[in-house]
Every structure is written in structure tokens, then in C-alpha cells.
Structure 1
Amino acid sequence: MKPDRICAACGAVFIPLVHVPNQRYCSLAACQLARRRAWQHERLRTDPDYRANQAKAQAAWRARHPGYSRHYRETHPACLDRNRAMQRTRNARRNAQPVAKMDTCSPFQPLASGFYLLCDALEASIAKMNAWTVHIAVLSAPRPLPA
């Protein structure tokens, strides 16, 4: 008889099946679901063909059910609120660290002639090498030249 093992999902002691020598999960449905999810997560991480097949299958399902997401959001407002709150948390976490960019200058477009107010934009929280982040407000429009 094989010695008892501890389930990797629930932590309960179980007796492994004789024909599964490396069994790490007990036979509870929740633990088997955890085992399958762990397998799929690892496979998605390491196998590009599996990942591509999964993406293709998901795209095909979305094509067969075009209104599903909209209908689900309309009929499950609590999930919608939860997702929005989680997105705000992710955005706050993402924006907490300044972003450093190098050489982000686009082709130079001259500003129209006029008077401008140039002040430091401290709230931008983006660090760029050799660049300023500024707010420019037009104070007056250019006057036409006398004829």
C-alpha cells in the first residue's frame, strides 16, 4: 500500500491511486479542476502552438457569439462594477511608477506664431530623456501683417 499524500490544492491527506504513481491532487472535483487549470496555465506559458490554438478557438467562439459580452454586461451589473473597480486599481498601480522613455520625439511640427505660457507640468509623472513635459496655453492669436 502506498503512503498517504497531501493534496496540492486543498491540503488534505489522501491515498494515491495505484495506477497514478505521481498523483499530487485528491479526487475532489474542486481539486481536479485546480489540477486542470494548473496544467493549462503551464501549457499556455510554455507551448506556443497550444497558446495559438487556444487563441484561435476563443476567436472562433467570439465570432459565433457576437453579442455575448454586451448581453452579459447588461444582465450582470455587479460584475461590471467589480471589473471597473479592478481596472481602476490596475490603472493606479500602473501609473504609480513613472514611465521612462528614450528618444520619443516625433517629427518636429512648428507651433503657430503667437504668445504662449510655458510652465512645468508636474502631474505628468512621465520621465523622458532630453525632453520636457509642459502645458502650453495660447495667450493671443497672431495678428496679420499690415499690407
Structure 2
Amino acid sequence: MKSTHLCLACGNAFVPLRHVPRQRYCSSKACQRARRRDWQRTRLRIDSDYRDNQARAQAKWRAGHSTYWREYRAAHPAYRERNRSMQRLRNARRNVRPIAKMGVISRPGPLGSGFYLLSHADEAGVAKMNAWTVHIAVLSASTAPPT
């Protein structure tokens, strides 16, 4: 009589394959996908070489497919809208100011010449692309007469 095991993914009983006596997942596609995902998660956690190799492979893929996410969002408006609404919820939970975007500066006019103090603004919200959120305080104004 063959013994049955319980699948770690779906919980159903299954008879392990004859050549895999310590089989822990049944052979359904979803459970095999879960098995591979669990293996990769464990490998990423314990094997630094594997982790480094995965990071390099992902960076190479991103470099070769730099427009992937832009095209995906354009082709999937439901995904884009869901992402925007979820971001609004996250911002509301954080109770922060709007998110800073790369290269966007909204000010009434150009900054005048003079000395400025640049300091870290801890209470700022989320910034993109390694942007710094700072507080600028004018320490001395320009001495040039207005034109």
C-alpha cells in the first residue's frame, strides 16, 4: 500500500512519485509553481551568490527593456488606475505632502542670488529617483537693485 502525503501548497492528499519519496507538493501546476517560488525565496535568503546573480540578471533585463513599465501602463489602464488609487491611500495613511517627481519645481519665480542653507527635511513624503527633499532658508538677500 502506498502512503499519502499532504501537499504543502493546497493541503490535498497525494501519493508521492516513486522516484521522489520525500515529495512535499502535489503535481498540480499551481502547487509546482508554489514549490518553485518557495525554493527561490529560500535560496535568495540564504545564498549570497544566487542573490547577486539574480540582481545582475534583473538589472541586465531592465537595461534591455527600459520602456517595459511605461508600455505596460499604457496598455493596461485598469492597472494604472488601481496603482494610482492605492498610492493615494498609502499617502493618506502616511499623512504626508504630495510625492515629489523628478525635475518638477513649482515656484513663483527663480530663486534670487544669495546664500542658502540646505538642510534635510525629515517629515517629507515620498521622493522619486533619489531626489532630496530639503528646506531652503534665505540667509542673505541679493544686494543688487531690482530691475
Superposition TM-score tier, normalisation by shorter sequence: 0.5 to 0.7
Name the structure 1 match of 2:15.
15
Name the structure 1 match of 2:73.
73
TM-score by length of 1: 0.59
Residue 91 (structure 1) shift: 4.4
Residue 92 (structure 1) shift: 4.8
Name the structure 1 match of 2:64.
64
TM-score by length of 2: 0.59
Give 1 or 2: higher strand fraction. 1
1: distance between equivalents of 2:14 and 2:6? Answer: 6
Larger radius of gyration: 1
Name the structure 2 match of 1:43.
43
CA RMSD between the two structures: 3.3
Of all paired residues, the percent bearing the same amino acid is 62
Matched residue type, 1:68: Y
Seen in structure 2, the aligned counterparts of structure 1 residues 2 and 90 have a Cα distance that, compared at 3 Å, is: farther
Residue 85 (structure 1) shift: 3.0
What do the CA deviations read for 1:63-103 (whole angstroms, capped 9, x no partner)? Answer: 1122111111111111112223333444455x37xxxxxxx
2: distance between equivalents of 1:45 and 1:57? Answer: 17
Seen in structure 2, the aligned counterparts of structure 1 residues 84 and 48 have a Cα distance that, compared at 3 Å, is: farther
Q: Residues 1-147 of structure 1 correspond to what in structure 2 (within 5 A)? A: 1-92=1-92, 95=94, 109=117
Gaps of 5+ in 1: 97-108, 110-123, 125-140, 142-147
